[in-house]
Amino acid sequence: MSLRRQPSEERLLAFAAGTLSFPEAVVVAAHLSLRPATRPWAELGVAVGGVLLDDQAPEAISLDARRDVMARLDAEEFGAEPRPASADPVLPAPLDQFALGPWRWLGPGVHVRDVLGTREGDCRVILLKIASGQSAPRHTHGGVELTCVIDGAYATEDGVFSRGDFEEADPSVTHQPKVVSKEPCLCVAALDGQIMLPGRLGKLLAPFVRL
């Protein structure tokens, strides 16, 4: 899978259709709030979905399904409601509705915290903070990893990712993000399964590097 600075068209259309997993949708929503220029793709997905629905015979939906749809629509009205006074101004607005776990040490200069209430199966949302000049462990992925940069910047073999940039990675990608900004790099990520550290050393360290 190639790396992009915004979600793939397919992922944006799935977001608009409401077919992304909840953790993935949270990270895409964070990207859209930081990069409004990407929103036309999501809006196009809504328009295409509307045309397709017009061609279908109407069917009744359950009350629970209707409530779920309305909740998604409310959550995706970026900036429509004032942010809570308790909201962290550093975090994008879509994260305001979630409680956060404590920061956990992952390695020198690397800390992670859970975004609570976002898990769906093995997929969940985390915040990752890496100090300036530090690197995350070189790793690949047990499943899809979606990352949006909230603050700072990191670099991989594919270039620099800065505020609002979006990275998609899967088991075909092995990388080692290194922070290149003067300030720490803060990211929100949806992880499906655990990261995987290559080589013999990686197997020895794997029990200690749990996201």
Domains in the chain, number: 1
d(CA 106, CA 55): 51
Q: Which among 14-18, 90-94, 104-108, 203-207 has the top mean pLDDT?
A: 90-94
**Which tops the pLDDT comparison, 27 or 44?**
27
Q: Confidence class of residue 115 from pLDDT cuts 50, 70 and 90?
A: very high
Q: What is the pLDDT of residue 79?
A: 44
Quote the pTM value: 0.75
In this structure, of 82-86, 164-168, 183-187, the range with the lowest mean pLDDT score is: 82-86
Q: Give the chain's largest Cα–Cα span.
A: 58
**What is the residue range of 54's domain?**
1-211
Q: What is the pLDDT of residue 205?
A: 42
Q: List the CATH number of the domain containing 176.
A: 2.60.120.10
Q: What is the pLDDT of residue 9?
A: 87
112-117-122 Cα angle (round to 5)? 70
Q: What is the pLDDT of the chain when averaged over all its residues? A: 77
Average pLDDT in the 179-188 region? 97
